[in-house]
Amino acid sequence: MTNRPTLDASNIHADIRTKTSQYHSETVNTVIQAVANNPAVVVGMSINPAVKKARKLLEAQGLNVTYLEFGGYTNQWRKRLAIKMWSGWPTFPQVFVNGMLVGGASDLQKLIQANTLKTLL
């Protein structure tokens, strides 16, 4: 498997390098801290039914879920973009279990059905 390429910092002009490296860094750091300090984290947005599904699936497994919501479909999209850039996951929700990104709601459901989520707990 090849890694998703990212632009090397040496190929970003010095005048904008700080701007690119700090793009919504406070939002990304909030997610990083939550993932590091909680067994189950769902990062999502309001009105998205998949977010609610992921939370319910984790709660049904007996996990306390930390939920981070970043706006809805029409607002806070830049913060969500920064999170996507950090994780590499293109959609919401983003589900983390014991520090590991497991995907979205349907990916989580597959792990539960395959009885492999327990290996992460």
pLDDT tens-digit readout, 11-40: 999 999 999 989 999 999 999 999 999 999
CA 92 to chain centre: 7
The pTM of this model reads 0.92
pLDDT in tens, 93-102: 999 999 999 9
